[in-house]
Each structure stands twice: as C-alpha cells, then as structure tokens.
Amino acid sequence: MKKPDHADVVVVGAGASGVINSLVLAEAGLKVVCLDQGGWTQPSQHPHFSRDFQHQRHNKWSPEPALRRGADDYPVEGDQSHAFMWNGVGGSTNIYAALWPRFRPSDFRKGTEHGLAPDWPITYEDLAPFYDAADRMIGVSGLAGDPAVPPVPDYPCGPLPLRESGRAIGRGFDRLGWHWWPMPAGVLSESRDGRAACNGCGNCASGCPRGSMAKMSVTLWPRALAAGVELRAQARVERIETGPDGRATGVVYIDRTTGDRVLQTADIVIIAGNGVGTPRLLLLSENVQHPNGLSNTNDVVGRYLLHHTLVAAEIWVDEKIDSHMGNSGAVVSREFAETDVSRGFVNGFNFNVVRTGPAGQTAIGSFAQRPAPWGEDHHRWFARHFSHSFGAYAIGDDLPRATNRITLSATERDQDGLAAAKLHYTPCANDIRMMHYGMERLRDLARAVNAFDVAVTDYYENGVYRTPAWHLLGTCRMGDDPATSVTNKYHQCWEVPNVYVCDASSFVTGGVVNPTSTVTALALRCATNLAKNFQNLRHATRTVREYA
Amino acid sequence: MTEDTMTLEERRALTALLDTLLPGGAGFPAASASGMVELFTSRLLAAAPEAMTQIIGLVDTGNGLPGGAAGWREAAYRIEMILPRLFSEFRKQAYLAYYEQPAVIAAIRALGITYNDAPLPEGYPQQRFEPARDTPTHGRGNWLRTDEITRVDLSNLNLGDLLA
C-alpha cells in the first residue's frame, strides 16, 4: 500500500463543506489533503450549450445517481425517496439550485418547543456570525430587512431580478395577507471575483457552467488550492483506519486512476461526504474495536434521516410571466414556518416559489407530475400554459425517526467493490398532516393569483412517498449527549476524538429551508474552531462537550 | 428490439403513434415532420427498450395496424390504459425529443415567446431589481429569539398518532 507524506488534516469530500474546511485550515498554515471519489466537472460538460439539455436532465445530468449511473457514483439502494447528490469536486453544488435561506432560531429548538425532536447543541446566535461570513465567501445575493428572520447585514450582492413571475407571486401573497420576500441565492446578481453575473439562462437545474451560481469548483476551490490544499480527485475512500489508542490514524483510499490503495495518515480526519456518503463511510470502517462501524456504539450513525416534507403546485396565470427565464428561486414565504398546534401538527413549512422551466419540462409536467395532454389538444394546451406558470413548494420540517436511515446494502456494490448505501424513509403522521395542510394552502395561493389552472402533487407513487426534496440530512447528528448523537457540537466524534463529521448529516433537525447555507455556516464554524484549537485537538484522546 | 431489428411495419406503427400523440396544428409540426423520430427511437430503446417492444406490440390487435386517425387514437388510449407506466415513459421521451427540434422551437417563438435553442451562451435579458418597485412593503413576518421559545401546548394532539 502506498503511503504519502503525513498530513495535519485529511478531508473526505470536496463539496461545500469539504472545501470550506480545507480552505480555512490551509489558510491557518496546516497541511491539508482533500480526497474526492469523483473528478472535476468542466463548464463544457454541463448541458447548457446543447439543445438536448432537457433530456440530459433525465440521464447523465440527473441529480439522482440511480438514474445518472455515472462512473464516479456509488449506488443508493431503496425506492422510498430520491437521493440528490453529485460525486465529484464541488459535490452537489454541481447540480443544486443555490437557494440560500437561513434557519431561524426556533429551527434549533424543537426539543424545547415540543420535544418530538431534540434541540441542537448550538443556537442560531452561535451560528449567525458564520452565516454572515459564509455569505461573504460565497457572494450571496439577497435583500436585507426581511421581518420574518433575524436581522442580517446587507448581502454581498444585491437581490436578483424579481421579474414578472416574482411580482405576480408577490401580489398573490399580498392578497392573502401572507409573508413573502425575495429569495436569497448563492447566485451572483453582479459580477464578482472574476465570476460573471447570472444571465438568466433558466437552467439552474443542471448547475451553472458560467460560475454565476456558487459551484464550489469555481468559487472556493481555486482559493483553497492557492492556499496550499492538496486536492486528490478520483480518490475513493474505503475506510477510516484506527490505532490501538482508539484514535484514527488516517484513511485508506483507492486511487481510481491507478487502482492503487493508498494510506493517507493525518492527525485529524474530517468527513464531509453528505448525508448518505458520510454514514456509509463510518459504517464501512467497522473493525475489531468498532464492530458496529466507527463511532457507532450507540447505533445512531445513519439513523434519523431527514429529507424535508414536500408537496408542490404548478400554478398557471393569464399573464405571460416568462417562467423559463431567470434563476430558479423567486420568492420565499415564512407564513407557516412556526408550529401552530391548532393546525393539528407540530413544526411548520416554508413556501419556496420558483420559476418552472423550458418547453420540454413543461410538457412532461416535471414540476407537479401532470404532463400535457397528448393528441389534438396538445398544442392548444401548450400555447395556453407555457411561460405562464410558477411553481410553489411547501417544504416542511419532518420529524426525525430512528427508523428512517442509511445502512449498507447486503447485495449492491460500487465499482470498487464497496457496499452500496441503502436508504429507508417514510414520513410519519405528523409529516403527512403537514403535507396535507400545505397542499390546501397551495390551492389558496392559486386562487389568490386568479390561476386558470393548478396541478398539486404530494409526490406519492403507487402508495409510496418519493419526495424529490432530495435533501440528505441528520444521519450523524450532533448533540450534547454521547448516547443519542454521533458528535459533539464542534463536529468531533464522541468515540473517535480526532474524527470530525461536518456536512448535512450533522443536522439535528432539518428546518424548513434548503440546507446549503447552513452547511456552509457549520463548516466555517467547525474549521474555525479546529484551526484555533488545533495544537490541542490534534492529539486529543477524548471528546468533551465544551472546549475551554 | 433494436434500431437495426425494427421492421418496416414497426417503424410505421411507431411513427403513426408519435403523430397521434403530437399531431400537427396551431403552427406546430407533427412529430414525424419535426425530425424527432430517429432521435426518439434511439433514446427510448436505450432507456426503456421494454416500452418500445410492448407498446408497439399492442398497436396491432390481430387485425393489422389501426386505420385512420380515430383508430390510432383508440389504440393510444388502449395502450395508456393497459401499460400506464411504460406509456408514461414513452410520452416523456416523445415530448422531450419533440421540444428540442428546431422546427418546434421556431413554432414556440412564433407564439411571441423569447426562447433560445439552448440556455447558453445567450441567456435571457436580465432586468434589474428595482428597490422602489420590488421591495416588499407589507411589513408582515415575525420570528422568535432563542430565549423566547417556550413549550407549546400539545394536550390537544395525540402524540402517539403523530409519530405513527
């Protein structure tokens, strides 16, 4: 086995969290090696320049590895939900929509609020400075002053164009007397740091080859490489090695370009492989000392998978609102974000109101699963509907359940022979009640904008809820109690004190918004604490609740 | 079934079925006139070969291919009822292939809609966010500080039911 020079820190995963951890620690003067099982995605590889861009969204640019079947992917077994991920430099920022709303204080306090989920071990106020700093790193566009969230500094870039679609949606919310605000986004409204401003091409669903959207391979990786991070692509980590003292000694990876196995030793190991890949790696790392997988004596690794509840409506209005143009996110509404038990459930949901898409996607009914009619009515339907719609998601805070989980497949393997991930997820009655309530509110919104047509979906297929919310959260959650969590509040594993888990698997609850802004804030906080305390933590033999 | 092994009759059946789903009219070309058939065929055979085989197999009920537009519509309805999942895939591939054809894109533009062949490089004209016009003035919305969050009264909810 090859054994390159020892590193201070090895980071597994080159996505949003991996790059921020790598960058901060390298800028602190540490020797950082980052490994990713996939490669770089060049701008020319995105489908935006080709007329078949819509078709590609359903195969090699699908956000689902099961449909994409790329060489860099590993299988995710299970049919209860879709898994949204991209394996390669930049991670899932290669394909996300970069919607950038934050959690609010109550999202961290569900234990206090109702007790059907735990509190986070940190508060909004703990994370707020890191949200602000991460926004500056990313170049987030938005409008400060939203009365439904804690005050934020002016965003680095002004808000993105609201367009006719956003204004039409806003009028609908105003008629209902509901909150709404322009959606913050990790998309440039003005050119910055050598990246071009968004030109409204309308194909955010397949990433952004211009770099207007915060795709980490073009936003932060150049800076991280300049800081000295050694990034090794095509390096698939198969296990974390531990020594007799219980500490990790490093990771073993397969160099996919040569087939060699390589042991990368390091003082600190950071796992940032997303809510599926991270628990998978901890489970794959079982050994005599850790027979249930690494840091998993309590059997929490992989459990409490959260996706968010999701229901949606495509809403068609008489006005031509050019719904195939512009970045995807238009408006956010926090009207139903807080728990109100009079509704019959705990937790709340958010409206993400978005632009819909190009002609083919409209015809196949990709947003709300209602395709255009075939036959003689088709063209009349298309002329009436296309460019006249917006989409509204009601995205809710699902309750964490131990039975919703990631395990290792007993049958499927990736191309290197490693066990595939197996995903199991079903919403509980509270979640389903919230979804039904959300569907009624979506119909209210359709009426308020005088829609001539609306299609509402609960994403059930043959009796199985298959949310395309895709978010992969909560599977190695942080906490104050080693019996019920995988890491402490600094992302340090309770059982292996020099292994850190830092990505969306660290979430305790999912909030009601897209997770990437919180992932980046957590990553910045994790790396900042680690850099500040590195000389103590590099030799740590136990994990404590609170750093001095 | 592969592209090479498709018979002439199967190709005719496929073309007629596509024209039934996407007939010409209202300024739009029929599927076969748009130039999509070969592209559609190769994609469907790659993605869901069973859809092609079974759907074409159902067109002929033993009395030869349907006659006339009404006969083909009846055949399509029948297939949709018998094989809903495969028909759905067939229709999806047909729509996606159709709407990337230059003649169809031209028809979309003729509706008065600005529509690019592909998203880039041009993109679409960007408007600016105009604060005076676009900033919400409703003043609605609130949030709780961490120290304001207290227990909600769950007495009217059956917790066992909620977690089921």
Tens digits of per-residue pLDDT, B5-54? 888 899 999 999 999 999 999 999 999 999 999 999 999 999 888 888 89
Using one digit for the tens of pLDDT, what is the confidence trace for B101-110?
999 999 999 9
Q: How many CB pairs under 8 A join A and B?
A: 222
Residue of B nearest to A373 (CA): B21
Pairing of strands A261-271, A499-501: parallel
DSSP collapsed to 3 states, A181-240: EECCECECCCCECCECCCCCCCCCECECCCCCECCHHHHCHHHHHHCCCEEECCEEEEEE
Cα A519–Cα A524–Cα A527 angle in degrees, nearest 5 = 120
Give A145's contacts in chain B (Cβ within 8 Å).
Answer: 135
Kindly determine whether residue B126 and residue A161, on different chains, have CB atoms separated by under 8 Å.
yes
Task: Indicate yes or no: CB of A114 within 8 angstroms of CB of B151.
Answer: yes
Chain B residues inside the 8 Å CB shell of A189: 129
Using CA atoms in the order A68, A69, A72, A77, what is the torsion angle rounded to 10 degrees?
Answer: 100
Q: How confident is the model at residue B133, as a pLDDT?
A: 95
Per-residue confidence (pLDDT) for residue A62, from 0 to 100: 92
Question: What integer pLDDT is reported at residue A83 of this predicted model?
Answer: 85
User: Cβ–Cβ of B99/A363 closer than 8 Å?
Assistant: yes
Give the chain A residue nearest B109 (alpha carbons). A383
| Nearest-CB residue to B92 (from A51, A209, A364) | A364
> Which residues in chain A are closer than 8 Å to B156, comparing Cβ atoms?
341
Give B7 to chain A, closest Cα distance, Å.
25
pTM > 0.80: yes or no: yes
Q: Give me the pLDDT at residue A67, please.
A: 85
pLDDT attached to residue A400:
98
Does the beta-carbon distance from A105 to B21 stay under 8 Å? no
**SS3 (DSSP) at A65:** helix
> Which pLDDT score, from 0 to 100, does residue A469 have?
63
B72 pLDDT exceeds 80? yes
Query: For tokens 């139903």, what's the residue?
Result: A336
Which 52-71 residues of chain B touch chain A by CB within 8 A?
none
Give the contacts of A347 (CB within 8 A, at least 6 positions apart).
Answer: A110, A114, A339, A396, A397, A398, A399, A430, A434, A512
* Spatial separation of the C-alpha atoms in residues A117 and A138, rounded to whole Å: 31
- Give the one of A48, A200, A341 whose C-beta lies nearest to B118's C-beta: A48
Out of A104, A123, A386, the one facing B143 most closely (by C-beta) is A104
Q: Chain A residue closest to B43 (CA)?
A: A55
- By Cβ distance, the residue of A49, A108, A346 closest to B121 is A49
Whether the CB-CB separation of A197 and B159 falls below 8 Å is answered with no
SS3 A506: helix
pLDDT of residue A472: 96
What are the per-10-residue average pLDDT scores of chain A (548 residues)? 96 98 98 98 95 94 88 88 90 95 98 97 98 97 98 97 92 97 97 94 93 95 98 98 96 97 98 98 96 97 96 96 91 97 96 94 93 97 96 96 97 95 94 97 98 95 80 97 98 98 98 97 98 95 85
Nearest chain B residue (CA) to A431? B162
Strands A248-255 and A309-316: unpaired
Q: Which of B25, B95, B138 faces A364 most closely, judged by CB atoms?
A: B95
Mutate to test the interface with B, among A379, A386, A431 (most CBs of B within 10 A): A379
Q: For residue A82, give both structure tokens.
A: 């879709």
> Which of B135, B149, B156 has the most A C-beta neighbours within 10 Å, making it the best mutation to test the interface with A?
B149
pLDDT at A328: 86
- What does the alpha-carbon distance between residue B108 and residue B102 come to, in Å, rounded to a whole number? 10
Query: B121-160 pLDDT, tens per residue?
Result: 999 988 899 999 999 999 999 999 999 999 999 998 887 7
Sorted by sequence, the CB contacts under 8 Å of residue B7 that are 6+ apart come out as none
